[in-house]
Amino acid sequence: MKYANTTLIICVLALTVACKSKPKVVEEDTTKPVPAQAIDSSSALAPTSGNNSATDNQMHEVVAIEILQAQRYTYMKVKEKNNEFWIATVKFEPKVGNTYLYQGGLLKTDFESQEHHRTFDKIVLVSNIIDASSHPGGAMGSEMPHNHPPIETEANTKVAPVKDAIRLQDLLANSQKYNGKTVLVQGKVVKVNYGIMNLNWVHIQDGTSIKGQKCDITITTTENIPMGATIAMKGKVVLNKDFGAGYKYDIILENGSL
């Protein structure tokens, strides 16, 4: 009996040592849905080993130079100025050579991809990334990258006057006067970008113009406003707003409300 007990103890110790020495493998849990709006240290994409840290909250403009698709994620090698690095996000269909924008991110080291049988020394996990051509762009006179698509316009955007609303012509020509103030504007929605940086970006025109160019202003809002609607909105006038990646607004209305 004493010999049997000794043998049992030795076996248990051997199994314990074997379990401790076995390398850890991070398996993706495919039974749980992954929220499309976020990839962070708690998601199935994030391994339990390795170091991680939050990156800056700047807007980054990167060019895709290599793409690896996984079952639920997209790995993309990108170039930002003279730096090349990998990012990962919820699966989408990027193209090599296209320019993309993202903000912030979570930097991880020694990141293991089971599907591609490789470990990335460093990779940035990105919750939201967009094609640069889908960026909301700026209002009239704003600086935009050369490849930004033109703002859509319609032949007739004249709208009936709303009490106390400022004409866009007056607002744009006298922007310093209204800087920092909350104003009421009205117009027809000629372009909308939804859900970029958790906001909807609404371009309106009211039929006025300056030097032959139609007056157009961008309003950021959480309101869901359909394309083509005629609206009146209040918003705070902000001048020289720079979102990075070459997108600078001479004037923009923020926190818009109907």
What single DSSP character describes residue 48? Answer: S
Whether residues 242 and 128 fall in one domain: no
Please tell me the predicted confidence (pLDDT) of residue 105.
Answer: 84
Whether residues 140 and 235 fall in one domain: yes
Give the domain extent around 121: 36-132
CATH code, domain with 227 = 2.40.50.140
Please tell me the predicted confidence (pLDDT) of residue 96.
Answer: 94
Whether residues 183 and 75 fall in one domain: no
The C-alpha angle 109, 113, 116, rounded to 5 degrees, equals 135
- Render pLDDT for 115-145 as a digit per residue (tens, 0 to 9): 888 899 999 998 878 887 766 654 443 444 4
Whether residues 94 and 165 fall in one domain: no
Kindly state whether residue 97 falls inside one of the protein's structural domains.
yes
Whether residues 103 and 168 fall in one domain: no
Higher-confidence position of 139 and 112: 112
Higher-confidence position of 139 and 223: 223
- Mean pLDDT of all residues belonging to the chain: 74
Kindly state whether residue 6 falls inside one of the protein's structural domains.
no
Q: Are strands 213-221 and 247-257 parallel, antiparallel or unpaired?
A: parallel
Whether residues 176 and 246 fall in one domain: yes
Kindly state whether residue 9 falls inside one of the protein's structural domains.
no
Whether residues 196 and 173 fall in one domain: yes
Q: Are 116 and 176 in contact (CB under 8 A)?
A: no
Local confidence band at 59 (pLDDT 50, 70, 90 cut-offs): confident
Higher-confidence position of 57 and 139: 57
Kindly state whether residue 214 falls inside one of the protein's structural domains.
yes
How many folded domains does the chain comprise?
2
Return d(Cα 182, Cα 84) in angstroms, integer: 43
Higher-confidence position of 243 and 87: 87
- Select from 108, 114, 112, 11 the least CA-distant residue to 55: 108
Give the burial class of 255: count Cβ atoms within 10 A of its Cβ; 0-12 exposed, 13-18 middle, 19 or more buried.
middle
- Select from 210, 199, 198, 197 the least CA-distant residue to 235: 199
